[in-house]
Structure 1
Amino acid sequence: MIIIEFIECLKGGTSSLSKEGIISLGEAFVDLISADQTNTRYQQFVGGATVNVAVRASRFGIPSYYLCKLGTDANSLFVAKALKKENINIDYCVPSFEKKVCSVYIHLNEDGDRYFHKYVNETPDEWLTVDELEQELFHVGKIFYFSSGTLFNDKARKTTEQALAYAEEYHMLVAFDANIRLKRWESEEECRERVSSFMKRADLVKVTEDELLFLTEASTMEEGLVKMSSLNIPFLFITMGEAGACVLHDGNIMDVPGIKVKAVDTTGAGDAFFAAILSRFHKEGVPVDDSQLKEYVHFANKVGAIATTKIGSL
């Protein structure tokens, strides 16, 4: 973690102050969201937590870089076109004739609620490799962001470790979203141990309330927060849906109520929340007191709430 070095950079290091941009490492998806309860017609959207954060960072006017491997299939071309439309720099993505971008099918149940139905990955071992990372990018970026989506595969994990090492070497702020999808993991224990080990190296971490309970094996939020405090994460954000969010910082817990809206699709709300947090840290720096930190979270709650008022994660 480099939060102290980052604060010092903000105070006066001119070369560090010139660092700009959020680098997102991950895997792009195509979300196929059912158009009705027959679950036979779909609307196509670009998706994936790291893509969602990269897009929203760009919309906040922050230089946004995305790192992944892209193929030549229709889904890859759809993703590349969407990212370019959002002014995201994909120059550091690596082309691959073998890679096929994953599809996620999201269905509607009888109550009209959306749920994950099927995950299709035809090239499960096609990931960005360590030698395909461009080190110089980390020299210019300010925030490095990733999630557990690159930790369940050994090749992707090694690439993530190298990217994290570059981020630490160049004194970037490190942001991590647990974003746990247990169907990808060999076991719950492997997921729990690996995610927790990477959380320890981050300056900003986001988890959902359910993820907090899972990672700490706690039965209540209070118990989970006590256990999580042992990791000494500088800023831990816990999203709680319409109830809002809380943040654990310096041993103190701050609750910030949510914003009431008429939700249509909650897909990507947490990503919108975290992108808003990162935008505040990028533009205004590490909060100087609890009042400023609370303002950051309140703003993020608003952005997350607005994200639920239309279909699609973006």
Structure 2
Amino acid sequence: MPAPETPSASARAAGNAVLTVIGESLVDIISDPLHPDAGTAHPGGSPLNVAVGAARLGLQTSLVTHYADDRHGLLIDQHLQANGVRVINGGTTPTSTALATLGPDGAADYTFSITWEINGAALPALAAVQGSTHVHTGSIAAMLAPGDQATLALVQAAREHATISYDPNCRPAISPDAAAARRQVELFVASSDIVKASDEDLAWLYPDRTPDDALEAWLDLGPAVVALTRGAAGPVLLSRSGRVELAAESITVADTVGAGDSFMAGLVSGLAQLEGLGTHGRNRLQKLTADQLESLAAYANRAAAITCSRRGANPPNSTELGPLPAQLAGRGRTP
């Protein structure tokens, strides 16, 4: 995995943003039928992956999460510390696990043993979000009781001080009631400035809508930017100023574990470089140009492609990914 590095100029610019991620940490136990002797355990969980990806891209990152003092928890703790992520640990129950079985195309199908609660860190978690430029959450942390309501309360408390991003990263195996999940998702969408979802998320949440119709409906709830990842078909970014669609990068796919999380981390890092995060950046975020949307889409798309080119959730660092194109990043600044 990429080691922590001396930050580049773009990473230092992104690192001026203070990011708090709220969400689950777990251990992915990866099973590959094509390589039955190669099963391995890796730190995972969508929010953890976003936190690590953002830290590697230079953001000052904290993770409000839950894992225990057990062998899986030690693996997670070592991974977060090695990547410079500050941990606010609010849980006491055993560390969660996910069995990820890879298909022939490298896509992962998950079976979970998971709990989510952060009551043990209520005050430090509140202090973290209130001191942040940007807060991100999603996945199981925004859906699974009892911690889902604490997550929503932290997001709502953060809005006065920070911009918010959200990725539903739907897990029907954990929350099989699509109607209930849809109501919960829309609560978080309405509290967010930036939302990312996959085509699989939208197909499950809104089987009677086209993806573009679902994205438009989410824009109407309040976010400034909504993003759709479509695997090999490439991403779509939509705002009130336009729509950008890119092809996926041509790569040899090792697997797709963590690709969407790397896309999300790239999107947040790119917006930090555009000075589009935080209360002072929210107005700028509402006025992104089509060129800036395209730059963001390409940057996040590249982050996901690098992750797909190697095994496991292994996001790029700032040297591998590079900065947003300078001529586009500069347009985010006002005189």
| TM-score, reference length from structure 2 | 0.79
Contact map agreement 1:29 1:102 (CA 8 A) in 2:
yes
1:196 matched to 2:186: yes
1:53 matched to 2:50: yes
| TM-score, reference length from structure 1 | 0.84
1:69 matched to 2:91: no
With over 3 angstroms needed to count, the CA separation of the structure-2 counterparts of 1:69 and 1:107, relative to structure 1, is closer
Give the aligned partner of residue 282 of structure 1: 272
Which string of whole-angstrom CA distances, capped at 9 and with x for unpartnered residues, describes residues 148-172 of structure 1?
31233332122112211221132x0
- One of 143, 162, 166 as aligned partner of 2:134: 143
Structure 2 CA distance, aligned partners of 1:169 and 1:309?
39
Q: State how 1:1-314 maps to structure 2 within 5 Å.
A: 20-34=17-31, 36-37=33-34, 39=36, 41-90=38-87, 92-94=88-90, 96=92, 99-109=93-103, 111=104, 113-121=106-114, 124=115, 127-129=117-119, 132-134=122-124, 135-170=126-161, 172-250=162-240, 252-286=242-276, 288-314=288-314
Q: CA deviation at 1:206?
A: 0.1
Amino acid of the structure 2 residue aligned with 1:94:
G
Contact map agreement 1:23 1:66 (CA 8 A) in 2:
yes
Q: CA deviation at 1:137?
A: 1.8
With over 3 angstroms needed to count, the CA separation of the structure-2 counterparts of 1:33 and 1:132, relative to structure 1, is same
Contact map agreement 2:189 2:222 (CA 8 A) in 1:
no
For residue 78 of structure 2, give the secondary structure of its aligned residue in structure 1. helix
Contact map agreement 2:106 2:256 (CA 8 A) in 1:
no
Give the aligned partner of residue 331 of structure 2: none
Amino acid of the structure 2 residue aligned with 1:167:
A
For residue 257 of structure 1, give the secondary structure of its aligned residue in structure 2. coil
For residue 182 of structure 1, give the secondary structure of its aligned residue in structure 2. coil
Q: CA deviation at 1:219?
A: 4.5
* Structure 2 spans left out of the alignment, 5+ residues: 1-14, 277-284, 315-335
Which string of whole-angstrom CA distances, capped at 9 and with x for unpartnered residues, describes residues 102-125 of structure 1?
11112245x46453253223xx3x
Which string of whole-angstrom CA distances, capped at 9 and with x for unpartnered residues, describes residues 17-53 of structure 1?
x973110111101111125536465112111110111
Structure 1 CA distance, aligned partners of 2:112 and 2:27?
10
Q: Percent identity, aligned pairs only?
A: 20
Contact map agreement 1:70 1:100 (CA 8 A) in 2:
yes
Q: CA deviation at 1:131?
A: 6.3
With over 3 angstroms needed to count, the CA separation of the structure-2 counterparts of 1:102 and 1:95, relative to structure 1, is closer
With over 3 angstroms needed to count, the CA separation of the structure-2 counterparts of 1:303 and 1:115, relative to structure 1, is closer
Contact map agreement 1:21 1:141 (CA 8 A) in 2:
yes
Q: CA deviation at 1:229?
A: 3.9
Amino acid of the structure 1 residue aligned with 2:94:
K
- For the aligned residues, what is the CA RMSD? 2.4
With over 3 angstroms needed to count, the CA separation of the structure-2 counterparts of 1:43 and 1:274, relative to structure 1, is same
